[in-house]
Amino acid sequence: MKTFESRIAEGIPSLVVFIHAGEQDAVEIKYLAEGVRKEYGDRVNIMRVDASYDHRLKKQYDIKAYPTWILFKRGEELMRETGHKTVDELKDLVARAL
């Protein structure tokens, strides 16, 4: 199993969403991830991190709001946005990194 760090260090973009347990966004985020995956397939990693359980990553990436979307490529943070997004907004984020 690959670690978080090894996945974001890959040459393909990694779209990571930080959520908080118990939030109603889980179904919406799953739908959004599926929409991005349909468009880009294996050309993008999509990961969800529950920051209420993973305090190390929450602190490391200074997560203060939910959901927080971070796009990584080769371990570098390319962009960060918070709040609700549409599938098209997320596709645009990933397209800029490809």
Digit-coded pLDDT (tens) for 53-62: 999 999 999 9
Domain range for 12: 4-97
Per-residue CA distances from 75 to 21, 41, 69 (Å): 26, 20, 15
pTM above threshold 0.85: yes
CATH number, domain at 26?
3.40.30.10
Q: Give the list of residues 6+ apart from residue 74 with CB closer than 8 angstroms, or none.
A: 9, 10, 11
- Whether the per-residue pLDDT at 6 is higher than 70: the answer is yes
Q: What is the CA radius of gyration of the chain?
A: 12
The confidence score (pLDDT) of residue 23 equals: 63
Nearest to 17 by CA among 91, 59, 26: 26
List pLDDT tens digits, range 25-71.
777 888 898 999 999 999 999 999 999 899 999 999 999 999 999 99
Angle, CA of 72, 67 and 57, to the nearest 5°: 55
Name the domain count of the chain.
Answer: 1
